[in-house]
């Protein structure tokens, strides 16, 4: 290990920055964020850096560097493009035994700046020892996706109760076990969900010995249209901590694989005239599992509140007093349209967009057709594959031009995506000539004509 990672308390301490340009500004921002007082020395100092110096209560010295500038400073930063000057600053700092960092010159440094994930008071530092800073930044970006900003609030919660817990458990092993249970249970879930007051109440009750019996919780999670990269941070976090996952037919296998490995997986998918489990039984199963103290993810394709029956499910949970969270997902309309290169609105073509189900609860396509024929409106039909001929015919009958552009997208956002484009008059026949299977999405409107120019996600997909 070439560098020992340490975290320094610089609050109120004076730090010297030699240089007044963009690189000096970047380093100075970090130093100021840590609460240090800046002393910046350079013949010319940029406006933004001057303002930062003033906010830190520091000083700007408009001249060249001298060795006496190190006086009273606990950290030295050389951030100029003058290599001999940087080397001199490094030598002077080392002579005094003051930590020094020279930007882009690891051999001149006694300390280096890591790539930082700031979830204060939780802070994570990643370093390559100065050999591969770009790699360190890429790893930091990965960590950013794993650890949402609310983890800082969780650390703050622990800090507020630390002394109470220490008094309750004098043994370090007992304290460790206590906090592990807190950080992996409902208290942490409440804090991470933004329910800070409830998290504090539950933690205080746990300390006081008045904690209620363990109860489960249901996470209604939108899995998006298929591409795992479109999952939200919260969705991924909850998927990886669930004890049971109830998933739909439209959840892509690659997304299901991101769930916790040892979680029980229960398929409750539905397709036309073939329901693996009726909706009322799904609702009851969610209630029963939560009452057993389990953390349950109800994983749905797209967004749970857009033709996903999410409202029905949480109504049942609320009626039984079961805690739940709802995690929105990217709905198929926005996801598939974007990957097909079809903007749903456009100033020249469509001033509104309407989401319509192509399959009603009673099995018909009895829709308010007169409301759907405005030429300046984009229509998006979910579950419209079987009823596509009826949809196109009824729109034409009620006044939409037969030449209106239309598209059908199969398995949108995945490598198996296929896009069929035509008009209301010929799209049903075009689709009938190919073997097309759900999930599909139908888009009707002038915006479909933009696909020829805007399609960007081709990959392994076919376009007809």
Task: Cite the active site residues.
Answer: 248, 270
Instruction: Give the Cα separation of 411 and 419 in Å (integer).
Output: 9
User: Would you put residue 302 in left (φ > 0), alpha (ψ -120 to 50) or beta?
Assistant: left
The tally of CA atoms less than 13 A away on the side-chain side of residue 129 is: 6
Instruction: Give one DSSP letter per residue of 37-101, joined into a string.
Output: EEEEE-SS--HHHHHHHHHHT-EEE-S---GGGGTT-SEEEE--S-HHHHHHHHHHHHHHT--EE
Contact present, 254 and 178 (Cβ < 8 Å): no
Q: Is 243 annotated as a binding residue?
A: no
DSSP assigned state of 224:
B
Q: Is 301 annotated as a binding residue?
A: yes
Q: Is 1 annotated as a binding residue?
A: no
Q: Is 46 annotated as a binding residue?
A: no
Contact present, 181 and 203 (Cβ < 8 Å): no
CB atoms within 10 A of CB 147: 16
Instruction: Give the Cα separation of 96 and 79 in Å (integer).
Output: 19
Q: Is 303 annotated as a binding residue?
A: yes
Instruction: Give the Cα separation of 15 and 27 in Å (integer).
Output: 11
DSSP assigned state of 213:
P
Q: Is 31 annotated as a binding residue?
A: no
Contact present, 297 and 290 (Cβ < 8 Å): no
Q: Is 383 annotated as a binding residue?
A: yes
440 token code pair: 């599909």
The torsion defined by the Cα of 52, 53, 58 and 61, in degrees rounded to 10, comes to 170
Q: Is 147 annotated as a binding residue?
A: no
Question: Which residue, among 31, 23, 24, 20, has the nearest Cα to 56 in the 3D structure?
Answer: 31
DSSP assigned state of 415:
T
Q: Is 371 annotated as a binding residue?
A: no
| 182: phi then psi, degrees, rounded to nearest 5 | -65, -45
Edge-first strand order for the sheet with 264-267 is 264-267, 244-247, 295-300, 217-222, 324-327
Q: Is 225 annotated as a binding residue?
A: yes
Contact present, 90 and 80 (Cβ < 8 Å): no
Residue 34 is inside which H or E element, if any? none
Q: Is 185 annotated as a binding residue?
A: no
The percent of the chain in helix, strand and coil, each rounded to the nearest 5, is 40, 20, 40
Helix (H, G, I), strand (E, B) or coil at 364: coil
Binding-site annotation, residues = 22-23, 43-44, 225, 301-303, 306, 331-332, 383, 412
Binding-site annotation, residues for NAD(+) = 22-23, 43-44
Binding-site annotation, residues for S-adenosyl-L-methionine = 225, 301-303, 306, 331-332, 383, 412
């Amino acid at each position: 290990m070439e560098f020992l990672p340490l975290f320094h308390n610089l609050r109120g301490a004076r730090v010297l920055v030699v240089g007044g340009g963009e690189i000096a500004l970047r380093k100075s921002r970090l130093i100021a964020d840590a609460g240090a007082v800046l002393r910046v020395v350079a013949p010319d100092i940029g406006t933004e850096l001057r303002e930062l110096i003033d906010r830190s209560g520091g000083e700007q010295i408009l001249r060249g560097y001298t060795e006496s500038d190190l006086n009273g400073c606990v950290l030295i930063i050389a951030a100029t493009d003058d290599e001999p000057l940087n080397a001199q600053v490094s030598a002077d700092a080392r002579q005094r035994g003051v930590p020094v960092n020279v930007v882009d010159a690891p051999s001149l440094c006694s300390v280096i700046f890591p790539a930082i994930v700031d979830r204060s008071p939780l802070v994570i530092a990643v370093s390559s020892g100065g050999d591969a800073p770009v790699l360190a930044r890429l790893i930091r970006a990965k960590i950013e996706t794993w650890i949402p900003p609310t983890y800082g609030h969780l650390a703050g919660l622990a800090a507020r109760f630390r002394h109470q817990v220490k008094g309750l458990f004098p043994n370090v092993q007992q304290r460790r076990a206590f906090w592990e249970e807190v950080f992996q249970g409902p208290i942490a879930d409440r804090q991470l969900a933004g329910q800070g007051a409830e998290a504090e109440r539950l933690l205080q009750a746990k300390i006081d010995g008045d904690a209620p019996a363990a109860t489960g919780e249901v996470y209604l999670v939108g899995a998006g249209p298929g591409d795992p990269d479109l999952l939200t941070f919260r969705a991924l976090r909850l998927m990886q901590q669930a004890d049971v996952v109830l998933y739909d037919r439209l959840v892509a296998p690659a997304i299901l694989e991101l769930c916790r490995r040892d979680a029980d997986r229960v398929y409750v998918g539905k397709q036309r005239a073939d329901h693996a489990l009726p909706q009322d039984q799904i609702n009851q199963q969610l209630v029963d599992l939560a009452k057993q103290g389990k953390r349950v993810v109800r994983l749905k394709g797209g967004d749970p509140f857009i033709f996903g029956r999410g409202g029905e499910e949480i109504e049942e949970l609320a009626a039984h007093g079961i805690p739940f969270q709802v995690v929105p997902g990217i709905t198929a309309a926005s996801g598939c349209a974007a990957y097909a290169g079809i903007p749903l609105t456009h100033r020249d073509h469509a001033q509104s967009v309407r989401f319509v189900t192509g399959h009603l609860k009673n099995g018909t396509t009895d829709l308010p057709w007169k409301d759907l024929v405005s030429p300046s409106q984009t229509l998006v039909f979910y579950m419209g594959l079987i009823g596509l001929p009826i949809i196109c015919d009824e729109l034409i009958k009620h006044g939409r031009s037969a030449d209106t552009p239309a598209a059908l997208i199969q398995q949108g956002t995945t490598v198996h995506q296929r896009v069929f484009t035509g008009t209301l008059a010929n799209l049903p026949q075009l689709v009938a000539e190919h073997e097309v299977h759900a999930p599909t999405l139908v888009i009707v409107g002038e915006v479909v004509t933009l696909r020829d120019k805007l399609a960007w996600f081709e990959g392994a997909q076919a376009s007809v």
